[in-house]
C-alpha cells in the first residue's frame, strides 16, 4: 500500500500559502516524519491527509485510489491530536471503545480489543477513570489507544509529544518506536523537534514554508542535506554556516581562509557540523587558528564558541580539551567529509 501527495497546494482564506505543490510518496509500514518549523506546512499536510482540511489543488492517493474528496471516516486513518482531544464526559474505556462502537462492532469484540490495546500501552489500570483524572502522559497514551484500537491502515500523529515534559517525552518516544515495530502499521508523525524526527523516522520529510526541502532517511538527511535549510535544521547544535567566496581553490571569509579542492570560483556558503570540526593541540598545516570566546562544559562534551574576524563557529568536542581559557587560541581542522557547500542564492547543495 502506498500513500502519495500529488502537487498538493493549500492557500488559506487570508492568502497565506500553507503548502506549495507538495509531492510526497511513501509505502506501507514506514514511519514517516513530517519535520519543519512552525508555518512549514507539516500540520497542514497531515490534516489534508486525514481529510480534516481540504487542499486547494492537487490530489491525495492511497493505493492509487483518489481519496482527496473522501470524508475522514472513509479513509481508514486514525489520528492522535496534540492536545489529545479526549471525550471528557466518557471514561477511558469508553473513549477507546468509541471508534469501535461507531463501526458497530459487537460488544464482546469491543471488550477484547480495548483491553488488548490498553495492555500494550500500559493503561489497563485507568480504564475506569475520566480524562480529567489522568496525567499528561496517561492521557496521551489513551489518545494513541483510541486512534489505533480499530486497526486503521495509517496512524497520523500531530505533535503528540509536544505537551509532555522532557523526560516523559523521551520515554514515550521509545515506546512509540517499539509500538511501530510490533504493529507494523504506517505512521505519519508531525513534529518540529529534529531529534524526535531523527530517532523515530524511517524517512523524514523536511518541510519549509510549504515546500518539501528533502525526503530521505535520517542518515542521508544528516550526512547529505539537500539544502542549507535542512543542514541548519538538523543536528544540535546547528551546523555552522560561513558565507564567503572561493577563488583559486581557496575559500575566504574575512580573515578565515581554507584550501578547498574541486570547487568552482564564486560566492558560496560553507557548512561544517560542530561535532565534525577537529580540535588540535598545536597548529598544523591544515589547521586554522581561532580565538576562544566562550566555553560551555556539558560533560562529557565541551562546546567551544570561537571567532575569527567576523566569522563565529561552534565546535563540539567529545574528549578532554585540557586547559583552555577565554581568549586562548585554538587550532581547528576541517576534514573533507565534514565540508558542505551551498549556493548563496537558493541554498541548494553544490554537488
Partner 1 sequence: MRTNRIIERVLDHGVAPLLLVPSVVLLFVILLGPFLFMVWTGFTDLHYALPNRDGAFVGFDNFRRLMQDDPIFWHSFWLTMKFVFGVVLVEFAFGLGLALLIFHYIKNHRFILTILLVPMMLAPIAVGLIWKLLLSGDFGMFTYYLRAIGLADLQTSILGNPSLVMPAIMLIDVWQWTPFVTLVILAGLLSLPKEPFEAAIMDGARPLQIFKDVTLPLLRPIIALVLLLRGIDAFKEFDKVFILTGGGPGISTEMLSIYTYRINFRDWDLGYGAVCAFMVYLVVLIMCSVFYKAVYWNEGRSKMAGKAAA
Residue 332 exposed, middle or buried by CB count within 10 Å (0-12, 13-18, 19+) = buried
**Contact pick of 11, 17, 70, 85 for partner 1 (by CB under 8 A):** 85
* Of 348, 341, 276, 260, the residue nearest 313 (C-alpha): 276
- DSSP result, 266-298: EEEEEEE-GGGSEEESS--SS-EEEEEEEEEEE
From the list 29, 87, 128, 255, which residue makes contact with partner 1 (rule: CB under 8 A)?
Answer: 87
Q: Give least dist CB 189 to partner 1, A.
A: 16
Q: Which three cell numbers stand for residue 145?
A: 489507544
Question: Is residue 137 near partner 1 by the rule CB under 8 A?
Answer: yes
What is the number of residues in the chain?
A: 351
Number of Cβ within a 10 Å radius of residue 43: 21
Kindly state whether residue 163 participates in binding partner 1, applying the rule CB under 8 A.
yes
Should residue 118 be labelled a site residue for partner 1 when binding is judged by CB under 8 A?
A: no
Which one of the spans 84-92, 234-242, 266-274, 285-293 is the region binding partner 1 (CB under 8 A)?
A: 84-92
C-beta of 81 vs 252, nearer to partner 1: 81
DSSP 160-223: TTTTS-HHHHHHHHHHHHHHHHHH--EEEEEES-HHHHHHH-SEEEEEETTEEEEEE-HHHHHH
CB-nearer residue toward partner 1: 103 or 223: 103
Measured distance CA(310)–CA(253) in Å, rounded: 8
Q: Write out the three cell numbers for 73.
A: 471516516
Decide: is 135 part of the binding site for partner 1 (CB under 8 A): yes
Near partner 1 by CB under 8 A, which window of 24-32, 160-168, 326-334, 337-345? Answer: 160-168
Strand 154-158 vs strand 77-80: parallel, antiparallel, or unpaired? parallel
Q: What residues from 41 to 80 belong to the interface with partner 1 (CB under 8 A)?
A: 50-52, 71-73, 77-79
Q: Kindly indicate which of the ranges 16-24, 29-37, 125-133, 232-240 contains the residues binding partner 1, using the contact rule CB under 8 A.
A: 125-133
Task: Answer yes or no whether residue 86 interacts with partner 1 by CB under 8 A.
Answer: yes
* Per rule CB under 8 A, count of chain residues that contact partner 1: 38
| CB distance 206 to 45 below 8 Å | no
For position 84 contacting partner 1 by CB under 8 A, the verdict is yes
3-class secondary-structure state, position 67: coil
The region of 95-103, 238-246, 262-270, 289-297 touching partner 1 under the rule CB under 8 A is 95-103
State the Cα–Cα distance between residues 207 and 34, nearest whole angstrom: 7
Smallest gap, in angstroms, from Cβ of residue 175 to partner 1? 14
Q: Does 165 bind partner 1 (CB under 8 A)?
A: yes
Residue of the chain from 8, 147, 269, 270 that contacts partner 1 (CB under 8 A):
147
Q: How far is the CB of 152 from partner 1 (least distance, A)?
A: 9
| Calpha distance 96→253 (Å, rounded) | 59
Query: Do 291 and 324 contact (CB within 8 A), yes or no?
Result: no
Q: At what angle do helices 136-148 and 92-102 cross, to 10 degrees?
A: 20
Closer residue to partner 1 in complex, CB, 186/227: 186
Neighbours of 134 (CB within 10 A): 18
> Applying CB under 8 A, does 131 fall inside the site for partner 1?
yes
> Is-cis flag, bond preceding 92, omega within 30?
no
Q: Which residue in 132, 181, 319, 322 binds partner 1 (CB under 8 A)?
A: 132
Smallest gap from residue 181 Cβ to partner 1 (A): 24
Binding residues (CB under 8 A) for partner 1: these are 50-52, 71-73, 77-79, 81, 83-89, 98-99, 102-103, 130-132, 134-140, 146-147, 150, 163-165, 168
Amino acid at each position: 500500500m502506498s500513500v502519495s501527495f500529488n502537487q498538493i497546494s493549500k492557500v488559506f482564506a487570508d492568502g497565506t500559502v500553507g503548502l506549495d505543490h507538495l509531492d510526497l510518496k511513501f509505502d506501507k509500514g514506514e514511519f514517516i516524519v513530517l519535520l519543519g518549523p512552525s508555518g512549514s506546512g507539516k500540520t497542514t499536510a497531515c490534516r489534508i491527509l486525514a481529510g480534516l482540511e481540504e487542499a486547494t489543488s492537487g490530489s491525495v492517493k492511497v493505493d492509487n485510489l483518489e481519496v482527496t474528496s473522501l470524508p475522514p471516516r472513509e479513509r481508514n486513518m486514525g489520528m492522535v491530536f496534540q492536545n489529545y482531544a479526549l471525550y471528557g464526559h466518557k471514561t477511558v474505556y469508553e473513549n477507546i471503545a468509541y471508534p469501535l462502537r461507531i463501526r458497530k462492532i459487537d460488544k464482546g469484540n469491543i471488550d477484547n480489543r480495548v483491553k488488548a490495546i490498553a495492555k500494550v500501552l500500559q493503561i489497563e489500570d485507568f480504564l475506569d477513570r475520566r480524562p480529567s483524572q489522568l496525567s499528561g502522559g496517561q492521557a496521551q497514551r489513551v489518545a494513541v489507544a483510541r486512534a489505533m484500537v480499530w486497526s486503521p491502515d495509517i496512524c497520523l500523529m500531530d505533535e503528540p509529544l509536544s505537551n509532555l515534559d522532557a523526560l516523559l517525552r523521551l520515554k514515550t518516544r521509545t515506546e512509540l518506536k517499539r509500538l511501530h515495530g510490533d504493529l507494523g502499521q504506517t505512521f505519519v508523525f508531525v513534529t518540529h523537534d529534529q531529534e524526535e524526527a531523527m530517532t523515530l523516522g524511517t524517512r523524514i520529510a523536511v518541510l519549509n514554508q510549504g515546500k518539501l526541502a528533502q525526503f530521505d532517511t535520517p542518515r542521508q538527511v544528516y550526512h547529505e542535506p539537500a539544502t542549507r535549510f535542512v543542514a541548519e535544521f538538523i543536528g544540535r547544535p546547528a551546523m555552522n554556516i560561513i558565507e564567503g567566496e572561493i577563488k583559486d581553490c581557496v575559500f575566504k571569509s574575512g580573515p578565515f581562509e581554507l584550501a578547498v579542492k574541486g570547487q568552482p570560483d564564486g560566492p558560496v556558503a560553507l557548512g561544517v557540523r560542530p561535532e565534525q570540526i577537529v580540535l588540535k593541540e598545536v597548529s598544523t598545516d591544515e589547521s586554522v587558528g581561532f580565538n576562544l570566546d566562550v566555553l560551555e562544559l556539558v560533560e562529557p562534551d565541551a562546546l567551544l564558541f570561537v571567532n575569527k574576524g567576523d566569522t563565529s563557529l561552534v565546535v563540539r568536542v567529545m574528549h578532554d580539551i585540557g586547559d583552555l581559557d577565554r581568549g586562548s587560541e585554538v587550532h581547528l581542522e576541517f576534514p573533507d567529509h565534514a565540508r558542505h557547500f551551498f549556493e548563496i542564492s537558493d541554498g541548494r547543495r553544490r554537488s
